[in-house]
Structure 1
Amino acid sequence: MPPVPSTSRLPESVDADAATDAASAPRCYALADHTRILIADLDALRSGVEPGNTRSHALALAPGLVLLEADPARETRAFEALALALLAYTPKVSFAQSHTLLLEVGSSLRLFGGVRALLGKVAATVAGCGHAARVACAPTAWGAWTLVQARVTRSSRRWHVLKETTLARVLDSLPVTLAPFAAQHDHALTQIGCASLGDLRRLPREGIVRRFGDGVLGWLAQARGEAPDPRAWFAAPPSFHAALELQARVESAEALLFAARRLVMQLAGWLAAQHAALSGFELRLEHELASRHAPRTSTLALAWASPSRDAEHLLWLLRERLNQTELAAPVIGLALVASQVSEYAAPTDTLFPMAEAAEASLGQLFERIGARLGEQNVLQLFVEDDHRPELAMSARPYRESGAKRARKPRKAGKPQQEALASAPVQSAFDLPEVPLPTQPRPAWLLEKPLKLAMRGDRPVYRRPLKTLTRTERIESGWWDGEGVGRDYYVAADDQGRMFWLYRERIGGQWYLQGLFG
């Protein structure tokens, strides 16, 4: 698959007359080396310019053609970024000549739903990374490489071949000029009347070796699957840090998502290659120094509860965060740094739904709500080991449910140091096994108990209240200096509304602490 490489636009110098003639012609662009056209844009293709044309021939066909010089360093970075994103589909990605990436996907077909589905996903990933590509598949690496070259030059209509017998027949019909050695022996192959790869294969082997060397026969055998083709696979870096220079200044945070998508797709490929997932990353923004007080860089940190490697899930969280972000200055560059990386174990397929899968999906739902409303607004209730009602329950952000820690006591005579030990964490959907109270408790407690007035011997909350239950006594907290001694009652007014009251054992003052629905 040959994606269009990123290049720096350096137009070729022309004389004054040629510049005058080309001024009125429509402008188009093509990438060229010192002799031939490598890649042309759509306008140049409509003018008749094709890959392989000489520079002078291309300029004669399209007077407004601007020839661009390749930037090898930039192309290498672009191809490495693309290879990193494609690691999401197979760990075996290799580079080949003519701006081609080769993927060995034999072991990935069933996972991604077959050849057509996998090719569609690969093409979508390449397009999402900002490249245009031509995709072909074959049982051998050189076979797929030759078919994709035929697709680029429109030499064949057969780009997807799954059987070696079919591949051999298709290769024999392709022009010999598609072979990687054709540029070196172009005139010699033409002089002997060799037009197709089938003509070349039918020549005497001794003559081919004597005139062109052993490499031609070896390439033919590898392309047809008759000889092994060992390759050096692309290796993902041990840590992830990807940067992207924007083509124009971006002033709104929402517009950054289109460029950040490329970095997230690279991150997903890196996580797949490392068999890892992550629960947070940093998006670093490089700002244009439009004002004296504008910062040079800023950081947008994202974190979530359950480790994930799903690119769409990460993009959703990033989109919601960007929608709530106001840029300090226009952005001209992005960088993505992976943090909080952990090992990832893929879920196993089961016949019946499991509780773990349901909890994982609800966890992602809470993460999305937190990304939209703010993590501090998504709370989880926890039961605490305390009899005082105002301390028997606490509300904490959902993300902190997996980070609860308990401090171990320090032994005497040991140097002082912090020692943290994992404490049992309450699940989001499991209730603790504690004895139920003998009397009903309200679900709504007041933030602070309300002192009640008295009318005769009865407490008053808008109306006189009458107790309905026997006394429930709570005496606790003597160890922390906030001890309480209370007698609790369920009370009601004359309209049937129910309340939870208590009377202090010392002083006899009445307080309202909860309301029943």
Structure 2
Amino acid sequence: MPDLVAFRLGVRPGSTRSHAFALAPQLTLLAVDIDEEKRALESVALALLVFTPKVVLAHANTVLLEVGASTRLFGGLRALLSKVTSTVKGCGFTSRMGCAPTAWGGWLLAHARTRRVTRRVRIVKETTLVRVLDSLPVSLVPSAESHGNVFEQIGCATLADLRRLPRKGVARRFGPGILQWLAQAYGQAADPREAFCAPASFEARLELQARVDSAEALLFASRRLVLQLVGWLSAHHAAVSKFSLLLEHELAARHAPKTSTLDIAWAVPTRDADHILWLLREKLNQATLVAPVIEMKLFADQVSEHAPPSDTLFPMPTSDNESMAQLLERLSARLGAENVVQLVERDDHRPEAAMSIEAYQPAREAKSRRGKKTEKAKEPASEETEIEAEAEDAEIDESLELPDRAVPSQPRPCWILEAPQKLMLRNERPYYRRPLKLISRTERIEAGWWDGNGVQRDYYVADGDHGRMFWVYRERLSGSWFLHGFFG
């Protein structure tokens, strides 16, 4: 297929070599690589699976999409076609769009747009389809090239002229297949097609046309691979939490490695292309290329099932946990995982060990939530078991005399010191700037013997005579007093 400049000079598909060079002396002819063209078409089809599961590889390097059930999801036909065009452009290709109620009708409009014989690219009604297709030239028929200029000799210029010819004569001269093709194009016959099937595992390769030695250029090229990954994930109803980008380097130095690998991982599985590209950008900006890159390969390492978020009839102003997780992942990628921390609660009675600061790991929170849901989803007990449990509860209630009200727990301060501060004693009272008065009952904590940091303490709430409240304790063995926290 000639490019736009050659097309303007008069070069057309089917022109002889000498005629093409006569029209465009600076024309450059490229050898056709059927296998490479097929791989390129499959990569585009893989990226377009994000819009519909019915993607078909058609005649003359055409990709057909059945989008009847997807228009509302993507905001209407115009918005959907715009997103499809943007995706194809992101894969590194240009496209000519055609939309019609039939597959061959869309194919004809797309190729008519390529040959600049019509400006109509979208048809929704079947009545409009007949009128527009009748005006298209008969040279768009897929089998027209094999018949030479026979259509011109019999005075057949448009598809309407072809439809007016006697059916028996058309079948005898051009074969019965052209009648079946006309019926399918005009929606008068069924047109079953085999859909493109995404592979079981994802692996994409991209050979760069020039040496790349900058992170920004690598990100621009890797966008094609990410779009294919997102389409593959949509086809398998899955999400990814880790992938590997293999970089093939040019051997510029003797001791430079031939390949290098970038592992990009995050906690919450996703198939959002923008989020994946953002994380990849941060990883590439922090990486150092040992040599120029000439080829890239992308492998999906950790893939899991993905359930789309359910929508509600009346949206509520609740927090978006997924958006918060993505924000923290971006901060981790930008600042480093060790610089984004979270408070982790621990089952320990010692105040200084009941909470710790660790690197943010939302996967652990998701795991705990799944554990709770699993416990709630247990099968209900049988009727006999419930009766036995009720009987046991009745026996316990009869044997134990519980108080009417639960024993109140001791209050905890808003601020706990990182290390307890030792206090002096004056007149047998702990002293912090002034004598402290104990105003609460004793709370004894004895724990930590299992890790060698055992404590034996008696905690009190103390008053400093000016409205300030303190949390103090006395060591049971030494009798020393310590300040451990402040109340608001």
Residues 50-89 of structure 1 mapped to structure 2, 5 A cutoff: 50-89=12-51
Amino acid at match of 2:2: I
After the TM superposition, which of the residue ranges 478-487 and 197-206 deviates more from structure 2?
A: 478-487
Which SS does the other structure have where 2:165 is aligned?
coil
Which SS does the other structure have where 2:30 is aligned?
strand
Shift in CA distance, 460/300, structure 1 to aligned 2, threshold 3 Å: farther
Q: Counterpart in 1 of 2:400?
A: none
Gaps of 5+ in 2: 374-406
Residues 125-274 of structure 1 mapped to structure 2, 5 A cutoff: 125-274=87-236
Distance 1:515 1:329 in 2: 58
After the TM superposition, which of the residue ranges 393-402 and 69-78 deviates more from structure 2?
A: 393-402
Task: State yes or no: 1:508 paired with 2:479.
Answer: yes
Distance 1:423 1:162 in 2: 50
Distance 1:515 1:251 in 2: 57
Say which of 328, 331, 345 aligns to 2:290. Answer: 328
Amino acid at match of 2:220: F
Say which of 242, 255, 272 aligns to 1:310. Answer: 272
* Structure 1 residue 405: Cα displacement: 8.0
* Structure 1 residue 356: Cα displacement: 7.3
Report the aligned-residue RMSD: 3.0
Aligned 8 A contact 1:177 1:186 in 2: no
* Structure 1 residue 184: Cα displacement: 1.0
Shift in CA distance, 326/282, structure 1 to aligned 2, threshold 3 Å: same
Shift in CA distance, 181/355, structure 1 to aligned 2, threshold 3 Å: same
Q: Counterpart in 2 of 1:476?
A: 447
Which SS does the other structure have where 2:29 is aligned?
strand
Distance 1:437 1:291 in 2: 70
Q: Counterpart in 2 of 1:452?
A: 422
Distance 1:345 1:110 in 2: 20
Shift in CA distance, 125/228, structure 1 to aligned 2, threshold 3 Å: same
Which SS does the other structure have where 1:228 is aligned?
coil
After the TM superposition, which of the residue ranges 314-323 and 163-172 deviates more from structure 2?
A: 314-323
- Show CA shifts across 1:347-402 (max 9, x none): 22212335876222222222222222223333332322110012111333332543
Q: Counterpart in 1 of 2:246?
A: 284
Shift in CA distance, 161/245, structure 1 to aligned 2, threshold 3 Å: same
Q: Greater share of helix residues, 1 or 2?
A: 2
Aligned 8 A contact 1:85 1:125 in 2: yes
Shift in CA distance, 52/151, structure 1 to aligned 2, threshold 3 Å: farther
Aligned 8 A contact 1:306 1:363 in 2: yes
* Structure 1 residue 93: Cα displacement: 1.1
Which SS does the other structure have where 1:245 is aligned?
strand
Distance 1:49 1:211 in 2: 30
Shift in CA distance, 497/294, structure 1 to aligned 2, threshold 3 Å: farther
Shift in CA distance, 399/479, structure 1 to aligned 2, threshold 3 Å: closer
Which SS does the other structure have where 1:130 is aligned?
coil
Aligned 8 A contact 1:304 1:399 in 2: no
Amino acid at match of 1:438: Q
Q: Please, what TM-score do these two structures have when normalized by structure 2?
A: 0.84
Amino acid at match of 2:289: L
Aligned 8 A contact 1:93 1:102 in 2: yes
Gaps of 5+ in 1: 1-37, 407-421, 426-434
Shift in CA distance, 443/347, structure 1 to aligned 2, threshold 3 Å: same
Q: Counterpart in 2 of 1:441?
A: 413
- Show CA shifts across 1:129-179 (max 9, x none): 000111111111111111111111111121111122211111111111111
- Show CA shifts across 1:227-246 (max 9, x none): 11111111000011111122
* Structure 1 residue 333: Cα displacement: 2.0
After the TM superposition, which of the residue ranges 356-365 and 329-338 deviates more from structure 2?
A: 356-365
Shift in CA distance, 66/485, structure 1 to aligned 2, threshold 3 Å: same
Which SS does the other structure have where 1:65 is aligned?
coil
Distance 1:197 1:223 in 2: 11
Q: Please, what TM-score do these two structures have when normalized by structure 1?
A: 0.80
Say which of 445, 458, 462 aligns to 1:487. Answer: 458
Distance 2:140 2:421 in 1: 91
Distance 2:87 2:158 in 1: 34
Amino acid at match of 1:204: P
